[in-house]
Structure 1
Amino acid sequence: MRGFGDLEAAIMDQLWATGSAMTVREIHTALSADRDLAYNTVLTVTDNLYKKGWLRREPAGRAHRYTPTASRAEYGAGLMRAALDASGDPRQALLQLIGQMSRDETAALRDALSSFENETRS
């Protein structure tokens, strides 16, 4: 699993933050507040994300409204899974990651593991 490019990430971030379907025009307007972007560029990248399976679309008049097919958390989990697969030694990669985590993050990891174990026992 590859990470998003800069504009792909900005589009996905906008859609995740908004939490509702958006047209390319709405995405373009939101992103143009911070950078100079051509509408056609946003249209092309949004269509590419759709073709890659990251977005679903529904007709909205002559346009489409786009929504993500995965949550931000699911996307992050996929990146972590790919990194573990590419590491050659997932155990060592996890140890390195844990060594870089804050106390709050390690506590969250413990809680997540505990919740996962409790759910799989049920």
Structure 2
Amino acid sequence: MADHGTGDRGPGGAGPVQRRRGQGELEAQVLAALRSSGRPVTAGLVQERLGGDLAYTTVITILTRLHAKGAVSRERAGRSFEWTAVADQAGLAALRMRKVLDGERDREAVLARFVTGLSATEEQLLRELLEQAGEEGEG
């Protein structure tokens, strides 16, 4: 069987077995690479910052998904784009949570189940954050 560059040579094969990263992990790594640059960068530079082990097309796919989620912005630069992080990892998680909530018909039931699953510490933190948000809305 041919080796297609996955790093997994199978039992008895030589070489390391690379762990397959999940989409969320890749998105977080791409966001971190964008944020660490401090300026708009090309997909090629993102690929370099990630160590070059991801295919360029994979980096483009991740950047495009992050753009669709509102986590990154892009500006035309010649024939390609320069990308900028808009959200951090916590912001990306919040966007995912929002997307799930937006996809449900009974939002009240979803929120109620979410809140009842929180620990006492998490519930107190949520109360404080809601209070802060309310104060900011008034000011």
> Would the TM-score normalized by the shorter structure come out above 0.5?
yes
CA separation of 1:91 and 1:8: change in aligned 2, threshold 3 A = same
| Equivalences for residues 1-122 of structure 1 within 5 A | 5-6=23-24, 7-16=26-35, 18=36, 20-21=38-39, 22-32=41-51, 36-42=53-59, 44-45=60-61, 48-49=64-65, 52=68, 54-57=72-75, 59=77, 65-122=82-139
Task: Extract unaligned runs of 5+ from structure 1.
Answer: none
Using CA pairs under 8 Å that are at least 6 residues apart, name the structure with larger relative contact order, 1 or 2: 1
TM-score (norm. length: structure 2): 0.57
Contact 2:73–2:85 under 8 Å retained in 1: yes
Distance, in Å, in 1 between the alignment partners of 2:79 and 2:104 is: 46
Task: Extract unaligned runs of 5+ from structure 2.
Answer: 1-22
Contact 2:31–2:85 under 8 Å retained in 1: yes
Distance, in Å, in 2 between the alignment partners of 1:118 and 1:50 is: 31
SS in 2 for 1:66: strand
SS in 2 for 1:101: coil
Structure 2 counterpart of 1:45, one-letter code: T
Contact 1:8–1:45 under 8 Å retained in 2: no
Alignment RMSD:
3.5
TM-score (norm. length: structure 1): 0.62
Structure 2 counterpart of 1:20, one-letter code: G
Contact 1:28–1:37 under 8 Å retained in 2: yes
